[in-house]
Chains A and B, each alone.
Chain A
Amino acid sequence: MTSGDGRGTLWQRVTIAIPYLWLLVFFLAPFAIILKISFADPIIAQPPFTPLLDESGSPHITADNYTFLLTDKLYIVTYLKSVFMAAVATVLCLMLGFPMAYGIARAESAVRNILLLLIILPFWISFLLRVYAWMGLLNNYGLINNLLLWLGVIQQPVQLIYTDFAVYIGLVYSYLPFMVLPLYATLERMDPDLVDASQDLGASPAQAFRDITWPMARPGVIAGCLLVFIPAMGEYVIPYLLGGPESLMIGRVLFDEFFVNRDWPLASSVAILLLMLLVAPIAFLQRQRREEVEGG
């Protein structure tokens, strides 16, 4: 449809408006509400925070929540810990996911579809159930410990559950498909002749990977890392169910502030800061990707 066609332009406008509307209703509006709450004081009332305008009609705004967050070491440590754990999980997913994606992309088409199905299959079971299943496996008298005891490798059950290790297992297990799928998409589009050509010109398999496969896969690597890092950073269920007292992740703190302490303003400011901290690396990675696309 050309832009001169009146109905066409209307239709085009409607089409473009839908995602904007979506973002407005489900992202921008909640964000504004949370932003507002983050500048309020907690009170014991319904809702549990001071309104934006008090009885006299003058605005009631306080930055106390933010100053508290930045001075209390707990929150800074939790932020850093979250970034660290999400980053480690992302790197582990990349190391496991890359060979998987490469293998699938180079498999025969019949096998390839089965392998892709296997990657997607876990999504057919509720996420919560799968995390509970890991609790059963990692338990002190769970499958893994019982097997090791039976084999005689260990005499005492090893503490697996309620540790950072268990959180990493949960994160990597849950988010691996989000790494594999975008990687697969880029690797599958890559002409296998390119690797052959570089070897033909004298590159060893390792050099061919460094010179050709890795740079060609970068858009997929960036997309996969974003898809793993962002949700892992704010993950609540996995550290709550599998993690120990020291595996404090920001999602858990957020939940506790909202529903255990009922300090909505403080929780809101945690959420706002989390968003700010996430926007920076995402913007950076997105710009990298755009440069890659434009650079050809």
Chain B
Amino acid sequence: MTATEKTNNEAGGAPIIQVKDVSKHFGDFVAVDSVNLDIHRREIFSILGASGCGKTTLLRMIAGFESPTKGRIFIDGVDLTDVPPYRRPVNMMFQSYAIFPHMTVEQNVAYGLQKERAPRNQIASRVSEMLELVQLQQFRKRKPDQLSGGQRQRVALARALIKRPKVLLLDEPLAALDKKLREHTQFELMGLQDRLGITFVVVTHDQEEAMILSSRIAVMNEGRMDQVGTPKEVYEYPNSRFVADFIGTINMFDGSVESVQDGVMAVRCDAAGATLRAVSSSALAPGSHVCLAIRPEKIFISQEEPQSKWNTSLRGVVADLGYFGNLSLYRIRLENGKIVQVSAQNRRRSAERFLEWDDQVFISWTTQSVVVLPG
């Protein structure tokens, strides 16, 4: 069982966070536009979008730093829309980490409990517990400027977790870390979430990060929620051109419907210079505009005419290729000039290239691999 499936099974009962028809305007600018969202207990929920799409504003409204222009926010069933941040059962990890530079690691972590006026011995034991959790015991007396980026991130995490919030909000938690550390920290975060059972709400612009971390992803675009679903759903069944294009790479062919028969849609695509087929249950009338989309890894590339199991095959030449070690990327130019991206695993060990520039190739795929998007 993957972490994703497990959290989904446990996600029973009322949602821990309910965002109901929330909008936020800054003057004429609409940062968040009528967003509805249910976030369940114990899930890692990612809000994914390009910068300026309103994701951080939405997070700051959940934390209480911004008040919505319209709509209500419920946390654990209680309407907290008008409650200030210091009385909300959520804590936030800031993108800048916002570690207090004039306090030691220990003082930073203890801050939340001190504001709660917790007894001194309880604070001491909880601080030790948290520092152990993030493996910073030997740094407790250090000042923040004596720490590395990864250590600062863990201080911020420990400080945000010490009050045992119902929800932990994370604003671009890994953006400031280098690639290797980021990959390592992703799994640490997931392990931590699993152990503590706290709901994580992560804001990120990095689709890969969202895919790995999350049980569910909400894709945000220009203040609106385009799609909410599991990583597999948003990747394999995107519901709009934006989502399809934003998450991963995808080839798109615009066209008009010729016919829909037995769940297979035939679409005339001038861009591909052919009639393409896709599995679709929709009853679109012939002539309607649609967009067919297919991921690069679902395309098979060969020099010989492909076998019949591939339902669609097109002829083209290699316009460009890139070797990435584990896989190769090809840009194939079709006869009418359209470029199609194809990725292939490098299964054979060889110093020679399997394909060269300007080689004649066939690209092919199955009807099931094609996504039908609104035109």
Interface residues, chain A, with chain B CB atoms under 8 Å away: 191, 193-194, 196-204, 207, 211-212, 215-216, 295-296
CB neighbours (8 Å) of A296 from chain B are 101-102, 143-146
CB neighbours (8 Å) of A191 from chain B are 96, 98
CB neighbours (8 Å) of A203 from chain B are 86, 111, 115
Q: How many Å lie between the Cα of A201 and that of B168 in the bound state? A: 12
Number of A-B contacts (CB under 8 A): 66
State how many residues of chain B have any CB contact under 8 Å with chain A. Answer: 26
Given A200-B63, A200-B85; A194-B115 close (CB under 8 Å): no
CB neighbours (8 Å) of A204 from chain B are 86
Min CB distance B39 to A, Å, is 18
Min CB distance B169 to A, Å, is 9
A-B contact pairs, 30 of them (CB 8 A): A193-B95, A193-B98, A194-B98, A194-B100, A196-B85, A198-B111, A198-B115, A199-B85, A200-B63, A200-B65, A200-B85, A200-B91, A200-B92, A200-B160, A201-B91, A201-B111, A201-B115, A201-B159, A201-B163, A202-B112, A202-B116, A203-B115, A204-B86, A207-B115, A211-B100, A295-B143, A296-B102, A296-B143, A296-B144, A296-B146
Query: Is B237's CB within 8 Å of the partner chain A?
Result: no
Min CB distance A24 to B, Å, is 37
CB neighbours (8 Å) of B111 from chain A are 198, 201, 203, 211
Q: How many Å lie between the Cα of A216 and that of B65 in the bound state? A: 21
Q: How many Å lie between the Cα of A185 and that of B289 in the bound state? A: 58
Query: Is B94's CB within 8 Å of the partner chain A?
Result: yes
Q: How many Å lie between the Cα of A197 and that of B157 in the bound state? A: 12
Query: Is B84's CB within 8 Å of the partner chain A?
Result: yes
Min CB distance B29 to A, Å, is 13
For chain B residues 137-162, which have a beta carbon within 8 Å of chain A?
143-146, 159-160
For chain B residues 108-123, which have a beta carbon within 8 Å of chain A?
111-112, 115-116
For chain B residues 322-372, which have a beta carbon within 8 Å of chain A?
none
Q: How many Å lie between the Cα of A269 and that of B112 in the bound state? A: 56
For chain B residues 59-94, which have a beta carbon within 8 Å of chain A?
63-65, 84-86, 91-92, 94
Closest 7 CB pairs of A and B: A202-B115, A193-B98, A201-B112, A197-B98, A296-B143, A199-B85, A193-B94
CB neighbours (8 Å) of B159 from chain A are 197, 201
Q: How many Å lie between the Cα of A247 and that of B293 in the bound state? A: 85
State whether B65 touches A196 (Cβ < 8 A): yes
CB neighbours (8 Å) of A212 from chain B are 100
Min CB distance A82 to B, Å, is 34
Q: How many Å lie between the Cα of A193 and that of B145 in the bound state? A: 17
State whether A202 touches B86 (Cβ < 8 A): yes
Q: How many Å lie between the Cα of A193 and that of B93 in the bound state? A: 10
Min CB distance A253 to B, Å, is 42
State whether A197 touches B86 (Cβ < 8 A): no
For chain B residues 24-80, which have a beta carbon within 8 Å of chain A?
63-65
